[in-house]
Structure 1
Amino acid sequence: MQLPSIRQTNLVIFLGCCGLMAVGYFMQYMLGLEPCPLCMTQRVFIILTGVWALLAYLHSPALIGTRVYAFLVALSALIGGGFSMRQLHLQSLPAELAPTCGPSIDYMFETFPFTKALEVMLKGDGNCAEVVWTFMGISIPGWTLVAFAGLFMLGLWQLLRGYKPVTVL
């Protein structure tokens, strides 16, 4: 059995990220689940991971470029997974220790300085501590962490695997 090419794997990573975003938008617009600041931050890193994979797919670079794109895919997935873990930590806190709920993201960006709004997005607030949906006992950031772990592993595999140049006939 032949392994998928580096290019094919990048396409799979990109399509996986598109699928994750589709699920996120479905949950937001069809199920009415409003994303919290940490959810939005995780979305940014899903998109970033997908963009790196799409660029690698379209560019189809040689060895150094392949390794650079793979590193960027793995790094963005790793950072996104860190934000998922932060949200899981907030969800595990007792109610009296959870941070207070903040205003909506739209309100923050309209009212606060950009740096303050960005700080709240990255740290999370009480809205992020609320578990609004679970599947098999795992909340949304838990499933997002699983997805980031898979994306990280694919990026790492791309980084460490052997390189075969693409031949065009």
Structure 2
Amino acid sequence: MSRLTYRSLNWILAVAALLGMGFALLFLQRFMGFAPCSLCVFQRVGLIVMGCFALIAALVNPKAIWARLLLWAGSFAGIVWSVGVAARHIWLQHLPADQVPSCGPGLDYWLNTLPLQQVLHEVLSGSGECATVDWRFLGLSIPEQALIFFSILLILHIILLWKIFKFR
């Protein structure tokens, strides 16, 4: 673990975000033909946020602890968001059929007609499309696989925080 420097951990996070997005866009969307539901889109947003902050940290490699903490906080916020949305998605998928929320209009409609706060509320409430399990790998749905992936990235953030304070 001594070779895992602040910079190398951020490169790992940035590459992981790129790989995760590549998997989602190229494999799941293009190859498998799955259109992402609104919760899937929100998980991707968190992954992109994490990846952008990690990439900036890897490229700049700031020496000031406040700069490192600021970049870490942005990256951490993105992955915590993804973990939370994935957990919510899994919860919806495990609801009994009679408790699954009905399908509503799509995310595009909500973004065009509702204030952002209401869009967030509607998306996180979930809909019938989010409760559908289209594909499983090793017995895990896509959100379950995503939660495992995001949890690993969350652990890397904890290691990264330790590195930041060890740097002092």
| TM-score normalised per structure 1 | 0.88
Aligned partner of residue 32 in structure 1, secondary structure: coil
Runs of at least 4 residues of structure 1 off by over 4 A? none
CA distance, structure 2, for counterparts of residue 57 and residue 90 of structure 1 = 36
Counterpart contact for 1:28–1:35, Cα < 8 Å: yes
2:62 is matched by which residue type in structure 1? P
Aligned partner of residue 93 in structure 1, secondary structure: coil
* Identical residues among aligned pairs (%): 31
Higher helix share goes to which structure? Answer: 2
Whether 2:147 is the aligned partner of 1:138: answer no
For 1:86-101, what aligned pairs fall within 5 Å after superposition? 86-101=88-103
CA distance, structure 2, for counterparts of residue 23 and residue 117 of structure 1 = 26
Aligned partner of residue 167 in structure 2, secondary structure: coil
2:84 is matched by which residue type in structure 1? G
Unaligned runs of 5+ in 2: none
For 1:2-151, what aligned pairs fall within 5 Å after superposition? 2-26=2-26, 27-62=28-63, 63-110=65-112, 112-115=113-116, 116-151=118-153
Counterpart contact for 1:41–1:83, Cα < 8 Å: yes
1:11 is matched by which residue type in structure 2? W
Unaligned runs of 5+ in 1: 165-169
| Alpha-carbon shift at residue 125 of structure 1 (Å) | 1.1
| Alpha-carbon shift at residue 2 of structure 1 (Å) | 4.0
| Alpha-carbon shift at residue 94 of structure 1 (Å) | 0.8
| Alpha-carbon shift at residue 104 of structure 1 (Å) | 2.4
CA distance, structure 2, for counterparts of residue 118 and residue 86 of structure 1 = 13
Q: How many residues were matched structurally?
A: 163
CA distance, structure 2, for counterparts of residue 119 and residue 2 of structure 1 = 43
Counterpart contact for 2:37–2:130, Cα < 8 Å: yes
Aligned partner of residue 155 in structure 2, secondary structure: helix
Please point out which of 135, 148, 157 is paired with 1:155. Answer: 157
Counterpart contact for 2:135–2:141, Cα < 8 Å: yes
